[in-house]
Structure 1
């Protein structure tokens, strides 16, 4: 099983994350931010990545460091579990509908982190989180995981649905991208033979 554990301690947060990429979507998430926990649970359930998260952050200030550093730790754990990325499909995409909302997610486990983000939020706060923190989480995750990630709300009006569709879309795209391709299970999916960021693999 492709697994990894990351612990990250700073003056702002203390985090322990474990991922099993070949899991069944079992999760145990506690960050101190209820709505954020709910989103990470969706990520686990729909990607089939088992996810264990314990975050203790400076919530007496706000949720910024908790959300950001948890994104970094989960991204680091996914990157570590992928190893040299041998055999993975590498690319994934999903259209994620949730009632009136439709979100498009596409990603490349390229080693070249990038985020394109186009959301449809119409309120500044949602379930105890600043809505601007959703973009920040996706950015932190993509940077740490080494993923090129595009997320776009095509349309939608309910802010809860907009957030949840983004996480579910990421989950489904990630599920496809990390799967082992049985036709190329022994090969790294790059003409350069590597998918490290510093090599600018293609």
Structure 2
């Protein structure tokens, strides 16, 4: 089983994360931000990655550190669980519909972190979550996980649907990319022989 735990403690946040890449989408999430919790639950359920997250952050300041550091910790846990990435399918691409919204997510577990974000959110908050931090979460996650990640909402009107389609799209693309390719389960999927830069 590809399982990893990360404990990240700073003056701003205290975070404990556990992932099981070969899970069934079981989750236990607590960040102190309700809509953020809901999105991380979607990430776990639709990727089939078991995800435990306990974040205690300086929400009396704002939500920035909680959002950013949680993204970093989850990304670090995914990278640790992947190990040398031997046998993974590596790439994932999905179109993620939610009612009137359609988002495309494509990713490469390349070891070269990069985010392309083409998503417009038309309100400052969803629930109590500051929506300008949503892109920042994706950036933090991709950077820590070592993933090249492209997220583009092709169309949509409802802001909740737009954001949820992004997280569900990431989940389903991750599910494809982290799965073991039975035809090459002993090989690192790169002509360089390594994935890391």
How high is the TM-score relative to the length of structure 2? 0.99
- Tell me what 2:114 maps to: 114
Question: Does the CA contact (< 8 Å) of 1:120 and 1:155 recur in 2?
Answer: no
- Tell me what 2:15 maps to: 15
Matches of 1:161 and 1:132, distance apart in 2: 16
SS at match of 2:184: coil
- Tell me what 2:63 maps to: 63
- Tell me what 2:163 maps to: 163
1:68-114: CA deviations, max 9, x gaps? 00000000000000000000000001100000000000000000000
For structure 2, which runs of at least 5 residues remain unmatched after alignment?
Answer: none
1:30-80: CA deviations, max 9, x gaps? 000000000000000000000000000000011110010000000000000
How high is the TM-score relative to the length of structure 1? 0.97
Please tell me whether residue 46 in structure 1 is matched to residue 63 in structure 2. Answer: no
| Cα RMSD, aligned residues only | 0.5
Matches of 2:12 and 2:120, distance apart in 1: 30
Aligned residues: 197
1:109-134: CA deviations, max 9, x gaps? 00000000011211111111111111
Matches of 2:131 and 2:93, distance apart in 1: 23
Matches of 1:89 and 1:141, distance apart in 2: 19
- Tell me what 1:6 maps to: 6
- Tell me what 1:200 maps to: none
1:134-172: CA deviations, max 9, x gaps? 100000000000000000010001000011000000000
SS at match of 2:183: coil
Matches of 2:127 and 2:83, distance apart in 1: 35
Matches of 2:60 and 2:89, distance apart in 1: 42
For structure 1, which runs of at least 5 residues remain unmatched after alignment?
Answer: 198-202
Matches of 1:109 and 1:140, distance apart in 2: 15
